[in-house]
Chain A
Amino acid sequence: MTEEIIIAGFGGQGVLSMGKIMAYSGVMEDMEVSWMPSYGPEMRGGTANVIVILSTERISSPIIRSFDTAIILNQQSLDKFEGSVKPGGILIYDGNGITRHPERSDITVYRVDATEEAVRMKSPKTFNMIVLGGFLKVKPVIRLGNVIKGLKKSLPERYHNLIPMNEKALERGMEIIREK
């Protein structure tokens, strides 16, 4: 099993950290993982993206241009990466601020309105965990228990009190994701 994922959005949306949690969770699942971020000026306020590969085999190239799954968090990223999803792959996006919705018919498109839901839950910072929950619902490549373990690994200990809130966000994401 190999799952090749791109996560893309604005800098500050938690794109890189969502990828990191995925990668840590993959390690907990005893998989091979790679996490390849965009870096430099892109991180400073522009668009940010990260390629995460989870695999039961040795990972060859950590840098790829077509993906099984694209997780898209803003319009620029949708415009940039919609075409990079492999035919038969999936695209997950947050509808917030999206004016041109995904158009491809050879992939499965899911919508998870995490921005809205995070505001409703009064915890905007768990936005990325709602998205991750949605992903895990449609692509259960990692077990929830291992995601929590991954979360513990990637969060500094002083934030471990936030784990229950993140767990709730993951579960919420699983509930609200919808196929388009």
Chain B
Amino acid sequence: MERELRLMKGNEAVAEAAIRAGADGYFGYPITPQSEILEYLMEARPYQTTGMVVLQAESEIAAINMVYGGAACGKRVMTTSSSPGISLKQEGITYIAGAELPCLIVNVVRGGPGLGTIQPAQSDYFQAVKGGGHGDYHLIVLAPASVQEMADFVGLGFDLAFRYRNPVMILSDGAIGQMMEKVYLSPQKERSKEVPEWATTGKPPTRERNIITSLDLDPRAQEVFNQKLIAKYDEIREKEVRYEEFQCQDAEYLLVAYGTSARVCQKSVQLARAEGLRVGLLRPITLFPFPTVRIRELADQVKGMMSVEMSAGQMVEDVMLAANGKVPVVHFGRMGGIVTTPDEVVENLKSKILRV
């Protein structure tokens, strides 16, 4: 079937893609810069067409726990928010990870800490990739760099969530949420009627009760469960790494950037190459699992790497671990809701790496 062309904001694309991906439920609470998701869904009224539930909860905490409940029933459920709201959801997220339930969480990141600013930032990388809530767990984290990917990663996110029984986060930012671009939308998918065998939908005589919990008071049993999670994360690391490369074949210097910063860096690569500098860009599409192996390979080829993020320097730590001391790795980034410009990146590459 032909994909439908629209001009949409990133936030609207998430909402429309959720309907088309056959989502069963959306539970959210408004916060800038992602309120268009809830607004769009309320206006679209998918409960009249596909039967998808759209509900504005009384708070972010209520919304994530509605997701927990829906996920426990085997439904394709999701929530969206922006940084301060995502912090509120962390308790629910770690419970969902601990209960091994699939769901989709979208964070349209704004600057922090605290209430911070409503302008775009990438300062929630650690929270998304390293945990966020307590306990040893990982989310699968997808980082869209266009409105098209905002739409595409909704369906992909649900698929990965169900394949691994693990919460998936789309880590976006205010710029991608607010900007409009062309987007090709997938055709409407029917909501799944399949009930996963682990779902708590009532006990039939044919099997034992299904129990959804994140609690185990027996330390040995809990450790066995932790090891099971580790094995799952290892499998995800092995099979689900996604990234994109721009002009890396002959690169002497490597930029590493995701999301909005990766868009900026594409232009930086062009500017630098116009000056005769052989610069390439690696754009992680999955932040967990991180493209560690590929960056390690590139460390044998390039003379230095610069991680470009709208933060004080978070992903740079993963780039350093990947480069493992083979080449200098530095960070450049703007904060407070300011988006880096392409020429700023080139200037910093020159001053921080080329003089090394």
Contacts and interface: CB of A to CB of B under 8 A. Distances in A.
Interface of A: 20, 23-24, 27, 32-37, 39-41, 59-65, 153
B182 A62 contact: no
Pick the most buried of B5, B175, B180, B182: most chain A CB atoms within 10 A of its CB: B180
Contacts of A32: 181-182
Contacts of A59: 181, 263
Interface in B168-188: 174-175, 178-182
B332 to A, nearest CB: 15
A163 to B, nearest CB: 18
Nearest to B341: A65
A63 B181 contact: no
Interface residues of B, number: 22
7 contacts: A33-B180, A35-B7, A37-B179, A59-B181, A60-B264, A62-B260, A64-B341
Given A27-B5, A36-B175, A63 B264 contact: yes
A35 B32 contact: no
B342 A60 contact: yes
Nearest to A64: B341
Nearest to B176: A62
Given A40-B118, A61-B266, 6 more contacts: A33-B180, A39-B33, A59-B181, A60-B263, A63-B175, A63-B260
B296 interface: no
B226 interface: no
A23 B342 CA distance: 22
B267 interface: yes
Contacts, number: 66
Contacts of B200: none
Secondary structure class of chain A's binding surface, majority of residues: mixed
A85 B35 CA distance: 33
Given A60-B263, A61-B266, A64-B341, A35 B119 contact: no
Contacts of B342: 60-61, 64
Nearest to B344: A65
Interface of B: 5, 7, 32-33, 118-119, 174-175, 178-182, 260, 263-264, 266-267, 270, 339, 341-342
A110 to B, nearest CB: 26
A39 B82 CA distance: 15
Closest 4 CB pairs of A and B: A60-B266, A60-B267, A35-B180, A36-B179
A23 B180 contact: yes
B175 A40 contact: no
B199 to A, nearest CB: 40
B64 to A, nearest CB: 25
Contact of A40 (B5, B119, B179, B182): B119
A39 B7 contact: no
B267 A33 contact: no
B267 A35 contact: no
Pick the most buried of A33, A62, A64: most chain B CB atoms within 10 A of its CB: A62
Given A36-B179, A40-B119, A62-B175, A27 B266 contact: no
Given A32-B182, A39-B32, A60 B7 contact: no
A24 B7 contact: yes
Contact of A33 (B174, B181, B339): B181
B179 A61 contact: no
A148 B5 CA distance: 18
B236 to A, nearest CB: 30
B45 to A, nearest CB: 17
